[in-house]
Amino acid sequence: MIVFSNCKINIGLYITEKRADGYHNLETVFLPLPLFDVIELMEADTTTISVLGQPVPGSSEDNIILKAWWLLKNDFPALPAVHFYLLKNIPVGAGLGAGSANGAYALIALNNKFHLNLSTGQLSSYALQLGSDCPFFIKNKPNFASGRGELFEEVVPDLSGYKIVIVNPGIHISTPLAFSQIQPQPAPVNLKEAVSRPVEEWNNLVTNDFEEPVIKKYPEIATIKQSLYDMGADFALMSGSGSTVYGLFKKDTDMTPHFPDNYFVKMLGL
Protein backbone atom coordinates (compact mmCIF):
# COMPACT_ATOMS: atom_id res chain seq x y z
CA MET A 1 0.00 0.00 0.00
CA ILE A 2 1.22 3.49 -0.85
CA VAL A 3 -0.04 6.75 0.66
CA PHE A 4 0.96 10.33 -0.07
CA SER A 5 1.60 12.39 3.05
CA ASN A 6 1.24 16.14 2.53
CA CYS A 7 2.39 19.07 4.65
CA LYS A 8 0.80 22.32 5.88
CA ILE A 9 1.47 25.95 6.62
CA ASN A 10 0.29 28.03 9.54
CA ILE A 11 -1.61 31.18 8.69
CA GLY A 12 -0.92 33.01 11.93
CA LEU A 13 0.27 31.30 15.10
CA TYR A 14 -0.23 32.48 18.66
CA ILE A 15 0.98 30.68 21.79
CA THR A 16 -1.62 31.68 24.34
CA GLU A 17 -0.95 29.64 27.47
CA LYS A 18 1.46 27.17 29.14
CA ARG A 19 -0.58 24.22 30.36
CA ALA A 20 -0.19 22.24 33.55
CA ASP A 21 0.59 19.12 31.49
CA GLY A 22 3.62 20.81 29.93
CA TYR A 23 2.01 21.48 26.56
CA HIS A 24 0.97 24.89 25.24
CA ASN A 25 -2.40 26.16 24.11
CA LEU A 26 -2.30 27.91 20.77
CA GLU A 27 -4.41 29.48 18.06
CA THR A 28 -3.60 29.02 14.39
CA VAL A 29 -5.07 28.28 10.99
CA PHE A 30 -3.74 25.13 9.34
CA LEU A 31 -3.75 25.07 5.55
CA PRO A 32 -2.81 21.80 3.77
CA LEU A 33 -0.39 22.06 0.86
CA PRO A 34 -0.10 19.84 -2.25
CA LEU A 35 3.48 18.81 -1.46
CA PHE A 36 4.00 15.18 -0.51
CA ASP A 37 6.19 12.56 1.11
CA VAL A 38 5.51 8.99 -0.02
CA ILE A 39 4.97 6.09 2.39
CA GLU A 40 4.84 2.47 1.25
CA LEU A 41 4.18 -0.44 3.61
CA MET A 42 4.23 -4.17 3.14
CA GLU A 43 4.08 -7.13 5.48
CA ALA A 44 7.47 -8.31 6.76
CA ASP A 45 9.08 -10.47 9.43
CA THR A 46 9.94 -7.48 11.61
CA THR A 47 8.74 -3.88 11.68
CA THR A 48 11.43 -1.60 10.24
CA ILE A 49 11.73 1.49 8.06
CA SER A 50 13.92 2.60 5.16
CA VAL A 51 14.20 6.34 4.52
CA LEU A 52 15.18 7.87 1.19
CA GLY A 53 15.44 11.48 0.07
CA GLN A 54 15.69 14.37 2.53
CA PRO A 55 17.74 13.54 5.65
CA VAL A 56 15.84 12.70 8.84
CA PRO A 57 17.82 13.39 12.04
CA GLY A 58 18.00 10.78 14.78
CA SER A 59 17.72 7.01 14.86
CA SER A 60 15.31 5.29 12.50
CA GLU A 61 13.86 3.47 15.52
CA ASP A 62 12.56 6.85 16.71
CA ASN A 63 10.75 7.60 13.45
CA ILE A 64 7.15 8.66 14.05
CA ILE A 65 5.95 6.13 11.47
CA LEU A 66 7.27 3.26 13.59
CA LYS A 67 5.74 4.89 16.66
CA ALA A 68 2.38 4.83 14.87
CA TRP A 69 2.72 1.09 14.25
CA TRP A 70 3.63 0.39 17.89
CA LEU A 71 0.74 2.56 19.10
CA LEU A 72 -1.74 0.44 17.15
CA LYS A 73 0.07 -2.80 17.97
CA ASN A 74 -0.61 -2.19 21.68
CA ASP A 75 -4.36 -2.25 21.03
CA PHE A 76 -4.36 -4.69 18.10
CA PRO A 77 -1.93 -7.49 19.07
CA ALA A 78 -2.62 -9.35 15.81
CA LEU A 79 -1.35 -6.41 13.72
CA PRO A 80 1.28 -7.90 11.39
CA ALA A 81 4.86 -6.67 11.24
CA VAL A 82 5.49 -4.35 8.30
CA HIS A 83 8.38 -2.75 6.51
CA PHE A 84 7.89 0.93 5.71
CA TYR A 85 9.59 2.80 2.89
CA LEU A 86 9.55 6.57 3.33
CA LEU A 87 10.49 8.84 0.44
CA LYS A 88 11.15 12.12 2.25
CA ASN A 89 10.57 15.02 -0.14
CA ILE A 90 9.70 17.64 2.50
CA PRO A 91 12.41 19.08 4.78
CA VAL A 92 12.40 18.10 8.46
CA GLY A 93 12.28 20.72 11.22
CA ALA A 94 10.90 23.20 8.73
CA GLY A 95 7.60 24.26 10.32
CA LEU A 96 5.63 22.37 7.66
CA GLY A 97 4.39 19.53 9.88
CA ALA A 98 5.67 16.85 7.51
CA GLY A 99 6.75 14.54 10.33
CA SER A 100 3.36 14.86 11.99
CA ALA A 101 1.72 14.09 8.66
CA ASN A 102 3.89 10.98 8.26
CA GLY A 103 2.64 9.69 11.61
CA ALA A 104 -1.00 10.45 10.78
CA TYR A 105 -0.79 8.85 7.34
CA ALA A 106 0.90 5.77 8.78
CA LEU A 107 -2.13 5.36 11.05
CA ILE A 108 -4.50 5.82 8.09
CA ALA A 109 -2.56 3.32 5.95
CA LEU A 110 -2.42 0.68 8.69
CA ASN A 111 -6.12 1.13 9.39
CA ASN A 112 -7.01 0.68 5.72
CA LYS A 113 -4.59 -2.13 4.88
CA PHE A 114 -5.41 -4.29 7.87
CA HIS A 115 -9.13 -3.42 8.14
CA LEU A 116 -8.95 -2.15 11.72
CA ASN A 117 -12.23 -0.26 11.18
CA LEU A 118 -11.12 2.76 13.18
CA SER A 119 -13.34 5.82 12.84
CA THR A 120 -12.01 9.28 12.02
CA GLY A 121 -12.45 10.20 15.69
CA GLN A 122 -10.51 7.15 16.85
CA LEU A 123 -7.72 7.83 14.37
CA SER A 124 -7.56 11.42 15.63
CA SER A 125 -7.23 10.18 19.21
CA TYR A 126 -4.32 7.94 18.25
CA ALA A 127 -2.78 10.76 16.24
CA LEU A 128 -2.84 13.11 19.24
CA GLN A 129 -0.74 10.57 21.13
CA LEU A 130 1.90 10.95 18.43
CA GLY A 131 1.99 14.76 18.42
CA SER A 132 -0.08 17.90 18.71
CA ASP A 133 -0.13 18.59 14.94
CA CYS A 134 -0.96 15.02 13.96
CA PRO A 135 -4.79 15.06 14.30
CA PHE A 136 -5.04 17.83 11.71
CA PHE A 137 -3.81 15.47 8.99
CA ILE A 138 -6.53 12.90 9.67
CA LYS A 139 -9.19 15.22 8.18
CA ASN A 140 -6.67 17.37 6.29
CA LYS A 141 -8.87 20.40 5.59
CA PRO A 142 -8.30 24.10 6.34
CA ASN A 143 -9.10 24.59 10.01
CA PHE A 144 -8.79 27.06 12.82
CA ALA A 145 -7.04 25.08 15.56
CA SER A 146 -6.91 25.73 19.29
CA GLY A 147 -6.06 23.76 22.43
CA ARG A 148 -2.82 21.89 21.76
CA GLY A 149 -3.71 22.18 18.09
CA GLU A 150 -6.27 19.36 18.15
CA LEU A 151 -9.52 21.35 18.53
CA PHE A 152 -10.82 22.34 15.10
CA GLU A 153 -13.30 24.71 13.54
CA GLU A 154 -13.49 24.69 9.76
CA VAL A 155 -12.44 27.91 8.05
CA VAL A 156 -12.07 28.51 4.35
CA PRO A 157 -9.76 31.45 3.54
CA ASP A 158 -10.40 32.63 -0.01
CA LEU A 159 -7.13 31.73 -1.72
CA SER A 160 -8.67 30.77 -5.04
CA GLY A 161 -6.81 33.55 -6.83
CA TYR A 162 -3.43 32.74 -5.29
CA LYS A 163 -0.34 30.62 -5.67
CA ILE A 164 2.17 30.02 -2.91
CA VAL A 165 5.96 29.99 -2.82
CA ILE A 166 7.62 28.18 0.06
CA VAL A 167 11.28 28.75 0.86
CA ASN A 168 13.35 26.75 3.33
CA PRO A 169 17.01 27.68 3.86
CA GLY A 170 18.00 24.31 5.32
CA ILE A 171 17.99 25.51 8.92
CA HIS A 172 16.63 22.88 11.31
CA ILE A 173 14.60 24.49 14.10
CA SER A 174 14.11 22.50 17.31
CA THR A 175 10.44 22.86 18.27
CA PRO A 176 11.10 22.50 22.06
CA LEU A 177 13.82 25.15 21.81
CA ALA A 178 11.52 27.45 19.87
CA PHE A 179 8.79 27.09 22.50
CA SER A 180 11.31 27.95 25.23
CA GLN A 181 11.75 31.39 23.65
CA ILE A 182 8.03 32.22 23.85
CA GLN A 183 6.19 34.12 26.58
CA PRO A 184 2.55 32.96 26.18
CA GLN A 185 -0.07 35.68 25.98
CA PRO A 186 -3.58 36.08 24.55
CA ALA A 187 -3.80 36.29 20.77
CA PRO A 188 -3.73 39.94 19.64
CA VAL A 189 -6.34 39.35 16.93
CA ASN A 190 -9.39 37.21 16.27
CA LEU A 191 -7.65 34.94 13.78
CA LYS A 192 -10.84 33.39 12.41
CA GLU A 193 -12.12 36.86 11.56
CA ALA A 194 -8.77 38.05 10.27
CA VAL A 195 -8.34 35.27 7.71
CA SER A 196 -11.83 35.94 6.35
CA ARG A 197 -10.55 39.30 5.10
CA PRO A 198 -8.79 39.77 1.74
CA VAL A 199 -5.20 38.51 1.77
CA GLU A 200 -3.87 42.02 1.14
CA GLU A 201 -5.15 42.97 4.64
CA TRP A 202 -3.28 40.17 6.45
CA ASN A 203 0.06 41.97 6.47
CA ASN A 204 0.80 43.35 9.97
CA LEU A 205 -2.49 41.82 11.16
CA VAL A 206 -1.75 38.09 10.99
CA THR A 207 1.54 37.22 12.69
CA ASN A 208 3.50 34.26 14.10
CA ASP A 209 4.76 34.38 17.71
CA PHE A 210 7.77 32.27 16.75
CA GLU A 211 8.95 34.56 13.97
CA GLU A 212 10.68 37.25 16.06
CA PRO A 213 12.76 34.92 18.29
CA VAL A 214 13.71 32.72 15.33
CA ILE A 215 14.78 35.76 13.31
CA LYS A 216 16.95 36.94 16.21
CA LYS A 217 18.87 33.67 15.98
CA TYR A 218 18.65 33.30 12.19
CA PRO A 219 18.42 36.74 10.45
CA GLU A 220 18.33 34.87 7.14
CA ILE A 221 14.63 34.25 7.77
CA ALA A 222 13.89 37.99 7.66
CA THR A 223 15.85 38.28 4.42
CA ILE A 224 13.77 35.54 2.81
CA LYS A 225 10.54 37.15 3.94
CA GLN A 226 11.53 40.56 2.56
CA SER A 227 12.62 38.93 -0.72
CA LEU A 228 9.16 37.42 -1.14
CA TYR A 229 7.57 40.83 -0.61
CA ASP A 230 10.04 42.33 -3.10
CA MET A 231 8.91 39.72 -5.63
CA GLY A 232 5.31 40.87 -5.26
CA ALA A 233 3.82 38.74 -2.48
CA ASP A 234 0.60 40.06 -0.96
CA PHE A 235 1.47 38.28 2.29
CA ALA A 236 4.52 36.46 3.67
CA LEU A 237 5.09 34.73 6.99
CA MET A 238 7.20 32.06 8.65
CA SER A 239 5.31 28.80 9.11
CA GLY A 240 5.12 27.04 12.46
CA SER A 241 8.31 27.22 14.48
CA GLY A 242 10.29 27.72 11.25
CA SER A 243 12.42 27.81 9.28
CA THR A 244 10.18 27.78 6.18
CA VAL A 245 8.82 31.11 4.97
CA TYR A 246 5.95 31.28 2.51
CA GLY A 247 4.60 34.00 0.27
CA LEU A 248 1.12 34.29 -1.22
CA PHE A 249 1.10 35.70 -4.75
CA LYS A 250 -1.80 36.45 -7.04
CA LYS A 251 -1.89 33.81 -9.75
CA ASP A 252 -1.16 36.34 -12.50
CA THR A 253 1.95 37.69 -10.74
CA ASP A 254 4.85 37.37 -13.18
CA MET A 255 7.71 36.23 -10.99
CA THR A 256 10.41 33.58 -10.74
CA PRO A 257 11.81 32.86 -7.27
CA HIS A 258 15.57 33.36 -7.04
CA PHE A 259 17.26 31.95 -3.95
CA PRO A 260 20.56 30.17 -3.27
CA ASP A 261 20.89 26.71 -4.82
CA ASN A 262 20.97 25.01 -1.40
CA TYR A 263 17.53 26.37 -0.48
CA PHE A 264 14.41 24.22 -0.80
CA VAL A 265 12.02 26.30 -2.96
CA LYS A 266 8.64 25.29 -4.34
CA MET A 267 5.86 27.17 -6.13
CA LEU A 268 2.48 25.52 -5.68
CA GLY A 269 -1.11 26.10 -6.69
CA LEU A 270 -3.77 26.42 -3.99
Residue 133 among the catalytic residues: yes
Q: How far is it, in rounded angstroms, from Cα 17 to Cα 210?
A: 14
Choose, from 133, 209, 225, 234, the residue flagged as catalytic.
Answer: 133
In the annotation, is 158 catalytic? no
155, 225 contact by CB (below 8 A): no
236 membership: H or E segment, kind and range: strand 235-238
Angle at 102 between CA 99 and CA 108, to 5 degrees: 150
Q: What is the CA radius of gyration of the chain?
A: 19
How far is the C-alpha of 240 from the C-alpha of 14, rounded, in Å?
A: 10
For the CA atoms of 91, 70, 125, 98, the dihedral, rounded to the nearest 10 degrees, stands at: 0
Which residues carry out catalysis? Answer: 8, 133
